[in-house]
Amino acid sequence: MQEKYHPADIERAAQAHWQQTGAARAVEDPSRPKYYCLSMFPYPSGKLHMGHVRNYTIGDVLARFHKMLGFNVLQPMGWDAFGMPAENAAIQNKVPPAKWTYANIDYMRSQLQRLGFAIDWEREVATCSPAYYRWEQWLFTRLFEKGLIYKKLGTVNWDPVDQTVLANEQVIDGRGWRSGALVEKREIPMYYMKITAYAEELLADLDKLDGWPEQVRLMQKNWIGKSTGVRLAFPYELDGKADKLWVFTTRADTLMGVTFVAVAAEHPLAARAAQDNPALAAFIAECKKGGVAEADLATMEKKGMPTGLCVQHPLSGAPIPVWVGNYVLMSYGEGAVMAVPGHDERDFAFAQQYGLPIRQVIAVPGETFDATVWQPWYGDKTVGVCVNSGKYDGLDHAAAVDAIAADLAAKGLGEKKTQFRLRDWGISRQRYWGCPIPIVHCADCGDVPVPDAQLPVLLPENVEITGTGSPLARMPEFFETTCPKCGKPAKRETDTMDTFVESSWYFLRYACPDNDQAMLDARVNYWCQGGIDQYIGGIEHAILHLLYARFFTKLIRDLGLPGMAPLDEPFKRLLTQGMVVAPTFYREGADGKKCWINPADVDVSTDERGRPRGATLKADGLPVRIGGIETGCRSRRTTGSIPRP
């Protein structure tokens, strides 16, 4: 035995032995209990950071421990390889996204192998590989035929300079994060996955996940947001035609306190009113700028303008003025809200700002209502009874909702309804580096799914990225095709899928990555029976990724793929490790835009307390600027901008 430990020699020899003997290779063996240990796969940003090392070390310890206990262990690895960072790197480095991505995969794989993790590399997948996204396209066509994927107009963040849709987090102070242009709200045709069809099951099955942190389950429960209320209508007549303005409310007991209704800038009533009102038209145009995230709406200054139109109160028949409000989104609910300033804090502030009536219709014994100061009990539906509400006076919340809902139903103006905060998932992206949507647009046949025999629809890889719009829309050799139904000239869809789609089923493909005849096979039954035994990843994925993965598992279950047993939930146990934080670094280009630099490519000088006080780029020795402290999960933005040596 050597007196000193020489890791470079010993680990190299040990790893060579592991590789030769296939020590980490996983083979299905029904005679042994299985243990599927999965860590969230990384984005190939260029280099591993300590967040990666922390995450995969946890998984490796668990995998090795269970192997010593006699379990048949699977610990796979792959690459979440599509997405905008590759396009941004292509613009900065003049390298096609595919070349940049594959080079990063090779480098990061070598880093993981040097760390000695017990990973079965024979099961490696990369989501940008046609062998992978072929089956994603195949699944899309099945869901499209079943009506679980559909097309409609959607309101998005539109960058008029880059000519692309921005995610909510890419809108900073109302401007595109890369171009700096004022962002617009725009309606464009998009494909949606009908996740709302599974809302009830996604919510109910959270109770089965006793191996998940309670915090994560609560976050998903709130995101799904089940609420019971009343959908009701405010009748109106316009241009000689009778119509109804529909809203949903959980506070039907406050209906007699409505003093105005607010509609989204994109609502038909707003558009009609703006035809004869230039000032309103200008305000609507202003409302269409800025982000569409709910978080933005909660903190933004609430602005409004009257339309000059009125609707009728559904019970009293009194005229109710219609306002356009910048805090109302057309994509949520009916694109309209009934405003009860006396018992809703947002409506209260809005009414005070514009001098609108504030009416008390709920009272609590011993409490005095003051229309000039908001008190928390005003909006608490668990206390108080109706007042100033005619026949409903004295009723508590539940009794008043029942009575008002019955009266609305008798008039054909409302009914009780269960509603979810969750909205269908818009998966269309006007970007290049993603999975092509397998649809052909035919003037005669409409939207036609690409037949199985023509899959995959290959994404051209040697493409120049300019940063303005998707290059696919400028490539006739890609979008010019023939209709699969009638054979006439047609156009291929140039949008690509949201990258969350790829990460919603990769864990199932690990079980059978070599199957070129089917998306999944019976090997999934062995490795995923009862759910993946342990899933490890960041808390930042607690809502969207985990919710979409659960949704996809149920979708695939309901397709009834041959040889596969039903799987209700994908992950038996979930561990959300903490985050590693570090300073970020950047340079500003001639256009003032920030070019983020991988921290590994920077030399940092510190003061006596270890705080960064200066930094230079290793490649040229010139200064770089120090940004804020961020988490490793920000690597999609902060790494890969400067090519590594």
pLDDT higher than threshold 90 for residue 634: no
**Alpha helices, H only, 373-497:** 397-410, 476-479
CB neighbour burial string for 76-98, b if at least 16 within 10 angstroms, e if fewer: bbbbbbbbbbbbbbbbbeebbbb
CA-CA distance, 105 to 40, in Å (whole number)? 15
pLDDT higher than threshold 90 for residue 57: yes
Q: What is the mean pLDDT of residues 209-219?
A: 96
Q: What is the mean pLDDT of residues 453-472?
A: 89
pLDDT higher than threshold 80 for residue 169: no
pLDDT digits (tens, 9 = 90+) for 219-245: 999 999 999 999 999 999 999 999 999
Q: Of the candidates 221, 171, 184, 175, which has an alpha carbon nearest to the alpha carbon of residue 200?
A: 221
pLDDT higher than threshold 50 for residue 467: yes
pTM above 0.85, yes or no: no
Q: How far, in whole angstroms, is CA 273 from its chain's centroid?
A: 34
Q: How far, in whole angstroms, is CA 296 from its chain's centroid?
A: 15
Tokens 């998903």, located at residue: 220
Beta strands in 364-476 (DSSP E): 385-386, 414-420, 425-426, 428-429, 439-442, 446-449
Task: Give the pair of three-digit tokens for residue 320.
Answer: 């109710």
CA-CA distance, 247 to 253, in Å (whole number)? 14
pLDDT interval class at 563 (50, 70, 90): confident
Q: How far, in whole angstroms, is CA 53 from its chain's centroid?
A: 25
Q: What is the mean pLDDT of residues 348-374?
A: 96
pLDDT digits (tens, 9 = 90+) for 495-529: 999 999 999 999 999 999 999 999 999 999 999 99
pLDDT digits (tens, 9 = 90+) for 272-288: 999 999 999 999 988 87
- What is the identity of the amino acid at 386? C
Task: Give the pair of three-digit tokens for residue 403.
Answer: 């009575």
pLDDT at position 7: 81
pLDDT at position 164: 75
Q: What is the mean pLDDT of the chain?
A: 90
Tokens 């070129």, located at residue: 516
CA-CA distance, 624 to 587, in Å (whole number)? 6
pLDDT higher than threshold 60 for residue 577: yes
pLDDT at position 297: 59
